[in-house]
Structure 1
Amino acid sequence: MTDDNKTEDTKSDEQGFSLKRSLPLIILAGLIGAAFYFDLHTYLSLQTVAENREALTGFVESNIVVAIAAFIAIYVVVVALSLPGGALMTITSGFLFGPLLGGLVAVVGATIGATIIFLIAKTSFGEPLAARAGPWLEKLRDGFQKDALSYLLFLRLVPAFPFWLVNLAPAVLGVGLTTYAIGTFLGIIPGTFAFAFVGAGLDSIIEAQQASFDACVAEKGADGGCTFALDPGSLLTPEILIAFAALGVVALIPVVIRRIRDRKSAA
């Protein structure tokens, strides 16, 4: 390699944006595009679970370890590719493995998937963008990093922020890997276990939906526009949302205390 090439590579590294650095992001974008092109997300539905209920439960009963490993791997892919259906995956986890084990399995899968997204974003554009940004972003990064764990817990606990957005924002704001992983793991526990407990009673939900679907088909026929579906988001009752919001406020208490102490010290 000539000195000129070395100089160009050095400049590219200093600028932060390079093909080598961006390659994981390009590959991920390609996989996301392929997943949506082939409509893989359409398989993440209650109907798919219902149609394969006996096969799924039978496999779990006879191959529990393999089933857990396979489910975590699928969950990682769903989160890493930002496919819609994370809530349904958590419900299915509770249905297959029970509320406690199912909740833990879902938390592990979601955390790993989110961490993959975080690392790709951080290395591909998070740090280079921060290096090029002005003082306003640097000030925001400094403030966020001082209480990164509290902020992360707030973002994870309050279900007002899209999961994919909370995966990307910390990468731009300079959050460390350990803090991000811990904040994600702890922050998604309440919501994940809530859905897992719902999933533990999924049999009754499937039976009710199946009965409604069969009645619709009997009345209108197979081409009558009958659907067999359940929006997992509808399971988030106002009470649960309020509880999550309250937990989010609790997560910000250390930040408020720190700000008060800093003001007193400055005075």
Structure 2
Amino acid sequence: MKNNEAATFWQHLDILRWVILRSLAVVVTVGTVAFCLKDWLFALVLAPSNSQFVTFRWLHTEPFALHLINTGLTEQFMTHMRMALYAGLLCAAPYVLFELFRFISPGLYRHERRAALWITLSGYLMFMLGTLVCYMLIFPLTVRFLGTYQVSPDVDNMLTLQSYADTLVSMSLVMGAVFELPVVCAILGRLGVISPTLMTHYRRHAIVAILVVAAIITPTTDVFTLLLVSLPIALLYEISIFIVKISKKSNPL
């Protein structure tokens, strides 16, 4: 019996190893393609750095353009590699999630597989939606404010490419995580940790917290910008209440 259990364990370990290797291979392959498409990749990355970006044209902002510089010998190449790898992770994520789901699904019951599939798909879609909102709205507004902010006309802004790219990636990750709120609330609702009544009771507290988070994400003095960023997060909270209410009805226990 022990030998069979040991063999089963090592077999699962070997399967997991191949899952990881295949996932890494796909991420590296997609990242390599993104690396080779340098002009297209950085046209996308650098688009929010001037007033011709679609968000600024929609908001009718004043003309501006950031001039990015490079201060290190390897900085441009390393930034190119990091952005290509991040693009590879985003694009290859569906395949990676599919491999992980295929690995764990044999050990789950039928209803557990359905729940795991729903959590995986909705989690990925919400993360991508958060990344899109960051790229189209939050990051451009932040770049415009911080990139053109001056304490004195005698002090010029000299922004590095690395700083710009790192800010884009970090803010995208933060907003992707924020947009997981409905998924997390749905899970907690199913587990009975939270309820629609509780979330409705603390709605005012949540709105204050959302405004604080929006102010941190977009450190601007423009009230319109603050409200524009707060609105999607507040909408997520309301959607979360609705999702928890549905999950309670489908699982009253």
The TM-score, its normalising length taken from structure 2, stands at: 0.37
State the TM-score, normalizing by the size of structure 1: 0.35
Bigger RCO of structures 1 and 2 (CA < 8 A, at least 6 apart)? 1
